[in-house]
Amino acid sequence: MFKQIAGASALMLAMASPVHAVDIAIVAELSGGGAPAGTQYRDGIMLAIEEINASGGILGEKIKVTQHDTQTDPQISKGLVTKAIDDGAYVIMGTVYSSSTVVNMFEAMNAGVPQIVGAEAPNITQKGNPYVFRTSYGAHRGVPSLTGYFRDTLKAKKVAVSWVNNEFGKGGHDVFVDEMKKAGIDVVADIPSEAGAADFAADVSRLKSAGADAVFVYLHEEESARFLKEAKKQGLKTPLVGEVTLTGQKVIDLAGDAANGAVAHVGLTAQANVKSIQDFGKKFSAKYGHETDHNGIKGYIGMWAVKYVTEMNGAFDQKKFADTMHGLCLDVNKHPNMLLTTCWDNDGEMARESFMVEVQNGKQVVTTTVAAAK
Amino acid sequence: MEQLIQVLLSGLATGSIYALAAIGFTLIWQAAQTVNFAQGEFVMLPAFFVLIGINFLGMPLWLAMLFGLALSVLILGVAFKRILVDPLLSHGGLSLIIATMAVAILMKELVKEFYSAEAQPYPALVPQGAWDLSGVIISLQDVSHLIICFIVIVGLTLFLDKTKVGRCMQAAAQNAAVAEILGVNVKRMILYTFVVNAVLATLASFLITPVYLAKFSSGEYLGLIAFIAAIVGGFNQVRGALAGGLLIGVLDNITATYITAEYRQAIPLLLLITVILFKPEGILGKPEGRAV
C-alpha cells in the first residue's frame, strides 16, 4: 500500500513539474581549417546561452544546446544540419564558413528552420533563402568600405590581390576587383591560393615583384597568419589591407609581430571603443581565458537575437521568426546584448556600423568608425 | 633575376626540410622493408611536445626542445619499433604499412582531442630578418634552415659511412642475415635506425613548424611530400631522398611563382608519375632485384 502511494506521488510530482527546453543546434567548424572561426563563434553562443538561461531562458524555457563539428567540410556540414533538423532544432546557429553555408543552408530552408550564420560570401543572401540571417556583413557590403581607403588614404594607383580560392574568397575578390575598376585603380597582380595553404613563399614573391601600391589580402585566419609571417620574412613593405579576417585576434596570436601594420575593415572588433563590446570582451576572456574576436561577437549577438525575436513573437514559431527578422532593427538601447544597433533586410543581409582597424604592437586599434550602410 | 634567386633559395630551404622527412622514409624502408605512412605525423607531433613543455610545464624554449626530442626518440623511435614494428614485421610489410596508417590517424586524433583542433603559434628558432643584397632579399630563416639541414645530412652521412655503428646499420639494412653472421647485432641496428628517423623527424618539426604553424593536420601534406620526395629521389638511397626533397621544394616554388599557383600541388604528383614510369628506382636510386 505504502509503495503504491509513494509511486503515485512521484508520478504526480513529475507531471506537475515538466522540464521544457528549446533546442538550439550549433553547427560550426570546431576542427579543421575553420576551427579558429568556428570555435570562437561557438564560444560566443555558449556565453549567450549561459546568460539567457540564467535570466529565465526564452519565453520561460531553458535552452538545450547541441554542438556539431563540421570539420570544415561542406558535405559533413550538410549532413549535420539535416541531423539538427531531425533532432528538432528551433534555430540552427552556424555555419561560419561560406563554402559550408552555401551547401547546407538549403536543408534548413527546405525544413523551414531559421539559420543564423557567420558566413560572409555575397551569394548566401542572394539565393532567395528566407530563413538565413547573417551576423556580419556580406563581402559585397564590407569590401566597398575599403575603396575610399585605397583611393584616398593610400592614394593607390595599382593594387594586388591575394585571396583564397573558395566561396568566401571568390566573393570578396570579385567585389574588390569590381570596386577597384570603378575607382580607376589597376589590379596588377591577382593571386589565388587554396584553403589550408601552408606555403606562401611564391605568393609573396609575386606580390613583391608586382609593383603594387597596396595589397588586398582576403584569406582565412590561419592562412592570413602564414601569409603575414612570410611577408615579414621576405621583407614585403607594401601596405597590407584586408576585410575582417586579416586583423582578427587569432591571426594576431598566430602571426605574432608579423601582424603589426596590417589594416582591415571589420564589422566587429573586441577593441572597438564601445562600452558594450568592451564589457563583452571582458566577460568572454574571464570565462574562456583567451580573447574573443569578431566571430565570438557574431555568435553572441546571433544567440541574443534569437531570444529577442522569439520573445517579440511570443511563440516558438519558426516561420514567424523569419518573417519578423526581415526588415527588423534591434536598437541596442532596448536590446543591450546586441552590443550595436543591428538591422536586417528582406534577404537576411545585415547592416550595422563598422570599423577600420590597424594592428599595432600586437593589438587591434580602431582608427575609424564607418557608418552603417543603407 | 632577383625574384628567381629568392624563389630558388626559398625552395631549397623548404626542400631541405622535406628531405629530412624523406630520409626517414628511406631509412625505415632499408631497415624494416616497410613504408611508414605515419612519417608526416612523426614531423607534426614533436612540435606539440615542445608546446606542452612550454605551456604546461613552464619550460624555457631550449629545455622544451630537449624535452620534445627525448619524448620523440622514446615514443616515435623506441616505442614505435618495439610495440608496432617488431610484432608485425614477421607478418609481412603490408600489415605494417596498414598499421602505420592507423598510427597516423591515432596521432592526429589524439592531438586534436587532447591539445587543440586549432593551429597554435610556435616560437621561431632562427633569426627572422632579411639581408638586402643588391635588391635580392635573402631571408635569414631560409639560410639558417639550409645550413642546419646541410649540417645534419652531412653529419648523418659521415655517421653512416665513417663510424662502426653506422656501417653496421648499413650492413644490417643491406643484408640482415649476412650481417648477423658477421657479428652485427641486427636488432639493435634496426632500433638505432628508428631512433635516427625520430631525431630527423623532430628536427624537421622544429624547423618547419614556425612557418606552417603547429596543427594536428599539418603532417598530412608534409608526409605526402616527403613520401613523393623519397620515391622521386630514390627510395633506397639517402642521397636520393635529399635530391628528391630539394627538387620538389624548388619545383613547387617555381611553379607557384611563374606558372600557376592553383595547380602547384599537382606538380609533385606529376613528377612522381613520370619518375615511376621512366625511372622507377628514382633519380639517384639503384635498381633492386629480389628472388621470388
Does residue A249 lie in a domain region? Answer: yes
CB contact under 8 A, A233 and B130: yes
Does residue A3 lie in a domain region? Answer: no
CA distance A149 to A261: 15
Mutate to test the interface with A, among B18, B55, B118 (most CBs of A within 10 A): B118
CB contact under 8 A, B118 and A205: no
Count of domains observed in chain A? 2
CA distance A276 to A297: 11
Distance from CA of B291 to the nearest CA of A (A): 43
Interface predicted TM-score (ipTM) of this complex, two decimals: 0.86
Residues composing chain A: 374
- Same-domain check for residues A259 and A288: no
Mean pLDDT by 10 residues, chain A (374 residues): 55 46 94 91 97 96 96 96 96 96 96 96 93 91 90 94 93 95 95 90 92 95 94 92 91 93 90 90 94 93 97 96 96 95 94 91 89 67
Does residue A246 lie in a domain region? Answer: yes
Does residue A121 lie in a domain region? Answer: yes
DSSP B135-154: TEEEEHHHHHHHHHHHHHHH
CA distance A130 to A123: 13
Q: What pLDDT sits at residue A308?
A: 97
Helix (H, G, I), strand (E, B) or coil at B267: helix
CB contact under 8 A, A36 and B121: no
CA distance A37 to A43: 10
pLDDT band at B6 (very low <50, low <70, confident <90, very high): confident
Q: What's the rounded mean pLDDT across residues B3-25? A: 89
pLDDT band at B42 (very low <50, low <70, confident <90, very high): very high
CA distance A205 to B250: 14
Helix and strand element counts for chain A (H, E): 13, 15
C-alpha Rg value of chain A to the nearest Å: 22
Domain limits, chain B: 2-219
Q: Which three cell numbers stand for residue B121?
A: 603559434
CA distance B251 to B5: 13
- Same-domain check for residues A172 and A130: no
CB contact under 8 A, B117 and A39: yes
DSSP A233-267: HTT--S-EEEESGGG-HHHHHHHGGGGTT-EEEES
- Same-domain check for residues A280 and A348: yes
Distance from CA of B140 to the nearest CA of A (A): 8
Closest CA to A319 of A307, A310, A328, A308: A310
- Same-domain check for residues A63 and A157: no
**Which of A30, A234, A254 is facing B6, going by the closest CB pair?**
A234
pTM (2 d.p.)? 0.83
Calculate ∠ Cα B84-B85-B89, nearest 5°: 125
Q: What pLDDT sits at residue A15?
A: 47
User: What is the residue range of A172's domain?
Assistant: 141-266
- CB contacts < 8 A (A, B): 92
Any B CB within 8 A of A202 CB: yes
Does residue A359 lie in a domain region? Answer: no
Q: Which of A211, A233, A266 is the last residue of a domain?
A: A266
Does residue A2 lie in a domain region? Answer: no
Any B CB within 8 A of A272 CB: no
Q: What pLDDT sits at residue A77?
A: 97
Read off the DSSP letter of residue B81.
I
Q: Which of A210, A232, A266 is the last residue of a domain?
A: A266
Any B CB within 8 A of A201 CB: yes
Residues composing chain B: 292
Rounded to the nearest angstrom, the gap between the alpha carbon of residue A366 and the centroid of all alpha carbons in its chain is 19
Task: Output the 3-class SS for A119-130.
Answer: CCCHHHHCCCCC
Q: What pLDDT sits at residue A1?
A: 60
- Same-domain check for residues A145 and A260: yes
Does residue A232 lie in a domain region? Answer: yes
What CATH number is attached to the domain comprising A62? Answer: 3.40.50.2300
Q: Which three cell numbers stand for residue A134?
A: 547573417
Read off the DSSP letter of residue B191.
H
Does residue A365 lie in a domain region? Answer: no
Q: What pLDDT sits at residue A4?
A: 59
Helix (H, G, I), strand (E, B) or coil at A322: helix
**Which of B14, B119, B132 is facing A199, going by the closest CB pair?**
B14
Distance from CA of A203 to the nearest CA of B (A): 7
Q: What pLDDT sits at residue A110?
A: 96
